[in-house]
Amino acid sequence: MESAIQSRCLDCALRPDRVFCDLPAEALEAFDCVKSTIACRRNTVLFREGQAARNVFVLCEGKAKLSVG
| pLDDT 10s digits, 9-66 | 888 888 888 887 888 989 999 988 998 888 889 889 888 888 998 888 888 888 888 8
* 6 vs 26, more confident: 26
The predicted pLDDT at position 2 comes to 52
The predicted pLDDT at position 8 comes to 86
Range of the domain at 27: 1-69
3-state secondary structure of 5: coil
What is the rounded CA–CA span in Å between residue 68 and residue 19?
Answer: 27
The residues near 10 (Cβ < 8 Å, ≥ 6 apart) are: 25, 28, 29, 32
DSSP of 8-66: -GGG-TTGGG-SGGGS-HHHHHHHHHH-------TT-----TTSPP-------SS----
The predicted pLDDT at position 30 comes to 93
Total structural domains within the chain: 1
Per-residue pLDDT band at 3 (split at 50, 70, 90): low
